[in-house]
Chains A and B, each alone.
Chain A
Amino acid sequence: MSEPASTATVVGTITVPGEQLPRVELSATAVSTLRELWDEFGPLMFHQSGGCCDGSSPMCFPAGEFITSDRDVLLGRLDIAPAGAESRLIEFWISAEQFEYWSHTFLTVDVVPGRGSGFSVEAPRGVRFLIRSRLMDSFA
């Protein structure tokens, strides 16, 4: 609430070793939602889910709440800070085994109205983070 709504997407840094292109971005709506959540919860992280029910949703937690391991891949760091402000980096993780099947797609984190699940921090607001995907080849 304290930050102006974002009008721009945020593209993640390149963190996968040996790669030249980013893999993940935040929609402008996602940036605005994440700024509010950062104010409420402090530093944040994402872990991409798989499996049933709310699987395939990017789950957002207070940073460090979810313990990542060597079997996870860091897809990128996303800075949601407004221009000129101190950076607010959010890491986006996915399990290595899931990454093998997802690696040809570029991920955009968006926000939709919905009744969330899992332990993701946005759920009580009546919104959900959602992944939209496009083929990496079409990403120029």
Chain B
Amino acid sequence: MTVYSKPGTPGSLVTFKPRYENWINGGWVKPVKGQYFEDISPVDGKPFAEVARGTAEDIELALDAAHRAAPAWGKTTATERAAVLNRIADVIDANLEMLAVAETWDNGKPIREPLNADLPLASDHFRYFAAAIRSQDGDHAELDNDTVSYQFHEPLGVVGQIIPWNFPILMAVWKLAPALAAGNAIVMKPAEQTPVSIMVLIELIGDILPPGVLNIVNGFGLEAGKPLASSPRIRKIAFTGETTTGRLILQYASANIIPATVELGGKSANIFFSDVAQEQDSFYDKAQEGFVLFAFNQGEVCTAPSRALLQKPIYESFLATAVERTRKAIQGNPLDTDTQVGAQASNDQLEKILSYIDIGKQEGARLALGGERVDLGGDLSGGYYVEPTIFEGNNKMRIFQEEIFGPVLAVTSFTDYEDAISIANDNLYGLGAGVWSRNGNVAYRAGRDIHAGRVWINNYHHYPAGAAFGGYKSSGIGRENNKLALGHYQQTKNLLVSYSEKPLGFF
């Protein structure tokens, strides 16, 4: 067990700056209007740094820098860009513990997660896209003896990216790595709930990139996000968030006729077939853990397995064991490596979760565990903590239909295969799902029949670089985490070349 010291105290790996400016053209730039906002740590509910409150003027400065940098960056070789990405990965690895503490303080997540997931995945993600761009070939076709069609990948130029607050560094990296690998310059706006950890990272990696290739402007959605998303000076916009803003982003993109990728969340079903409980063995233990993963990152995951579907014969026994396992989850100081459940990222998130627990009760769902806000006392008393909560109910209830984005699980039963698939697909979203079965045929078929972009079979919450991630239905458009993402950041240039001396003969 290790308890990391609170940032800014003796022995801490991190001392935040009192104030973070925007990062533009390779340096810190004060916001044009001179305004700042406070970043509040969800761990204790107290402000710990000031952050630039960027506006349209700052977005323009960032776009100026990006447009100056894009032509030269876009002409670098894939070899050179891959080397840059690999150096960034090395710096993340070398500073992993420090970045993990920063991430936990900004977001509230238990530090075991950034230490073992967010940051190792972030560095590996850069390495994956370094390899992907090195190994990406163009294309050609010999259309006839004298005519050859060549297809080249070209960067789009300057792109905009808007990042969510649930994995502030990793979600930024998911978007940065393919965009940089493909040779684009970037203007990024982090989430206003978690604006600082990404600035701690840029402080480390900023000098690896040429000035202007990556620019980060903090601020509110209305004041900084909208001017970025609606700017005619970007050639693509990428967004992760919710559906109304997603539609607004697509609306702005349509006005500028640019591509947009949007990841808008889900309400993922985690399906447990009866044969899971055939033996009380290690696999059963793994499946039980798979159920409890709804509380991973306090449920603040777009693919949180927040609907558990248990087959009737095992419903009572599987649920009883899983509830007890969840009850044992350690909720406490997020800087303690033993802590399994930390703080929700913001006060309004906390309020929203409590409002859903309320409607769950009103709809008649049975509360099997939790359901209350937690006061951890002492320095953590002002933090945003919610008990892991398990409801039993049916799929028509709102707690089964909306991503609460908290440690709240909705459990129901199913009779047979068709019933399971029908319940899983009775939802607006299709980002993730889980299937647990010892029967490979059943698991395979279920994986194919569920309308979701990622179906985990006999595992959950793995996000290895290389496995494509993205949504069906209202969960959005586009794929990340795989070389397919390069296509979202590249133009296709076709050169159609005639090697014949003969005229066409039309005129």
Contacts and interface: CB of A to CB of B under 8 A. Distances in A.
Interface of A: 47-57, 59, 61, 65-67, 95, 97-98, 101-102, 105, 112-121, 123-124, 128, 130-135, 138
A59 B243 CA distance: 10
Contacts of A50: 242-244, 265, 402-403, 428, 474
B221 interface: yes
Contacts of A54: 241-242, 245
A51 B266 CA distance: 6
B348 A116 contact: yes
B428 A53 contact: no
Given A51-B241, A114-B346, A114-B351, A101 B401 contact: yes
B191 interface: yes
B145 interface: no
B192 interface: yes
Nearest to A123: B220
A66 B244 contact: yes
Contact of B241 (A52, A95, A102, A124): A52
A55 B351 contact: no
Interface string B366-403: 00000000000000000000000000000010100111
B245 A115 contact: no
Contacts of B352: 56-57, 130
A118 B247 CA distance: 11
Nearest to B225: A119
Contacts of A135: 362-363
B242 A51 contact: yes
Given A102-B398, A105-B359, A118 B241 contact: yes
Interface in B251-304: 251, 264-266, 302
A49 B403 contact: no
Contacts of A105: 359, 398
Which of B193, B240, B404 gathers the greatest number of chain A CB atoms within 10 Å?
B193
B93 interface: no
B207 interface: no
Nearest to A125: B220
Contact of B347 (A47, A55, A61, A114): A114
